[in-house]
Amino acid sequence: LASNDWKKQPTVVNVKDVEIGSKKVIVAAGPCAVESEEQVLTTAKAVKRAGASLLRGGAYKPRTSPYSFQGIGEEGVKILRRVGDEVGLPIVTEIMDTRDSTIFTQYVDMIQIGARNAQNFSLLKEVGKLGKPVLLKRGMGNTVEEWLQAAEYILLEGNGNTVLCERGIRTFEKSTRFTLDIGGMVAAKLMTHLPICADPSHPAGKRELVHSLALAAVAAGADMLLVEVHPHPEKALSDSEQQLTPESFEVLMDRIRALARAL
Ligand code: PEP
Ligand code: MN
């Protein structure tokens, strides 16, 4: 169902009035994690002004260490909803557990499946049933084929509104947090009709690298970007090193628009 052989026309995924996979590169931006209403509101206003189309933020956070900040859960989803409505941006946030699905159907516009759950098949099937657009990350150890097969689980439940997101894979290279697989992203684009997103923030690991990875992904044909932005990155409770300031995000948006015009 995800394959080009089955469906030749590119799929456009609608998240409220935002069209992903149409001409324009769609940018989702916001903090790694929802920390407070004020933090999300400040960020949302800034990214909206800069030209973002969606607000991102994690409420349920899949942290490597159980001692790290775990996110504020349901309250975080409600904050995103309020802020999204106030500012006028649809929201995308990650689900980690099928037991939370009613919260997501009630409050969320686009449901993210994180890299660590990319092959959680019961979660994929459940999310496929919820009737909401899905942003499916590639597992950090998954081949392109495995990534497309994960999407197949969602599509099989009748949900074709799925966007694939390349977020970097594990390689021997340590100078970046993960290796953004631009080649794999392009290969996936040739194999599927689904729109493709790139997350330049998590593979970068350091904010100095984020602009270049984002621009590389756009140059390579990404339909969407997912970018972490925090009003005070140095104080962020998660992924502090890689989040952009609102000022830097504004510059990035200018650079993306200039590049898109040149393509
Ligand atoms: C995220 O986007 O918030 C996130 C946790 O990313 P990933 O699943 O790609 O690590
Ligand atoms: Mn993060």
What CATH code is carried by the domain that includes residue 126? 3.20.20.70
CA–chain centroid gap for 123, Å, is: 17
- Is pTM beyond 0.90? Reply is yes
Pocket of ligand 1 from Cβ distances under 6 Å: 32, 58, 62, 94, 114-116, 137, 167, 199, 202
The H or E element containing residue 214 is: helix 207-219
User: Which residue, 125, 217, 164, 153, is CA-closest to 10?
Assistant: 164
Q: What is the pLDDT of residue 69?
A: 97
Contact call for residues 52 and 28 (beta carbons, < 8 A): yes
**Which SS3 state, helix, strand or coil, does residue 199 take?**
coil
Quote the mean pLDDT of the chain: 98
Answer yes or no: is 184 within a domain.
yes
- Rounded (10°) CA dihedral 15, 43, 112, 228: 120
Position 4 in a domain: no
Residues present in the chain in total:
263
Q: Is residue 3 part of a domain?
A: no
Residue of 35, 197, 202, 241 to mutate, ligand 1, most atoms within 8 A of C-beta: 202
Which residues are bridge partners to 253 per DSSP? none
Helix axes 207-219, 182-191, angle to 10 degrees: 30
Ligand 1 centroid to Cα of residue 257, in Å, is 25
- Please name the helix (run of DSSP H) or strand (run of DSSP E) that holds residue 249, with its range, or none: helix 246-262
Mutate to test the pocket of ligand 1, among 112, 179, 239 (most ligand atoms within 8 A of CB): 112
* Three-class SS state of 35: coil
Angle of helix 144-156 relative to helix 121-129, nearest 10 degrees, comes to 40
| pLDDT score at 61 | 98
pLDDT tens-digit series, residues 180-209: 999 999 999 999 999 999 999 999 999 999
Say if the ipTM goes beyond 0.90. Answer: yes
Distance in angstroms (rounded) separating the CA atoms of residues 10 and 91: 23
Range of the domain at 229: 13-262
Could you tell me if residue 173 is inside a domain? yes
Considering the domain boundaries, does residue 200 fall inside one? yes
Backbone φ/ψ region at 45: left (φ over 0), alpha (ψ -120 to 50), beta:
alpha
pLDDT band at 116 (very low <50, low <70, confident <90, very high): very high
Q: Is residue 57 part of a domain?
A: yes
Among 65, 225, 260, 247, which Cα is nearest to 135's? 225
CA distance 204 to 32: 14
Total domains present in the chain: 1
Residue at 63 is within a domain:
yes
DSSP H or E stretch at residue 29: strand 26-30
Q: Averaged over 153-169, what is the pLDDT?
A: 97
* DSSP strand pairing (13-15 vs 196-198): unpaired
Is 5 domain-assigned? no
Residue 145's pLDDT band, with cuts at 50, 70 and 90, is very high
